Structure 1
Amino acid sequence: MSQTNTLNVQILDKEYCITCPADERVNLESAARYLDSKMREIRSSGKVIGADRVAVMAALNITHDLLHRQERQDIDNSSTRERVRELLDRVDRALTTDQAGSED
């Protein structure tokens, strides 16, 4: 069982103390850095004012990217499954043809 620790992270010039399992510390730090960079990017565009609005826009952008990647992965997985089915069909046909030819 992993031990729980607290971690201080800086996001958009504000410090947050977050409790997390010790084995997730590196992932949480990485996530906080990523969120901070996205929020800074949005804030620096000058199109969104206010930390709350910047946070919501960052969350929407990150969620959109995640869903888009999952959709692409699902398409890739489906394509891979279809290719495997086609290859198995070819192997089955080849084996069937080979067996029919060897019976003569």
Structure 2
Amino acid sequence: MKASTEPVKVMILDKEYLIACPEDEREGLLRAAGFLNRRMKEIRDSGKVVGADRIAVMAALNISHEMLQLESRHDGVLALVEDRVRTMDQRLAAALNGTVEG
């Protein structure tokens, strides 16, 4: 059964937007809009960027940069875990074959 789509009212930088959203994604949309609103207000309140379009672009760039940094860290941790699992697998195989490494 497909979730019904209802318009959800969000406020971003003191402006109201109606966004079509499936009911089961409503909470996520509200959280995302709240996060974006806070970030845009921080940029606006810093006084370094003027204009809603520029504030939105700066917020998008900052959020994208943070996401890419987290993704890079995630990839590094994943590679480390995969390496450790591979080492454990090799040691287990050696142990099962009776050639335990030291």
TM-score normalised to structure 2 length: 0.92
Aligned residues: 99
| 1:19-39 deviation per Cα after TM superposition (whole angstroms, max 9, x unaligned) | 011111000000000000000
1:81 is matched with 82
1:14 is matched with 15
1:95 is matched with 96
| 1:75-97 deviation per Cα after TM superposition (whole angstroms, max 9, x unaligned) | 11111111000001111111112
Q: What CA distance in whole angstroms lies between the structure 2 residues aligned with 1:65 and 1:7?
A: 27
Q: Offset of 1:55 from its aligned partner?
A: 0.4
Q: State the identity as a percent.
A: 49
Q: Offset of 1:74 from its aligned partner?
A: 1.0
Q: What CA distance in whole angstroms lies between the structure 2 residues aligned with 1:31 and 1:58?
A: 13
Displaced runs of 4 or more, over 3 A:
none
1:62 is matched with 63
2:54 is matched with 53
Larger radius of gyration: 1
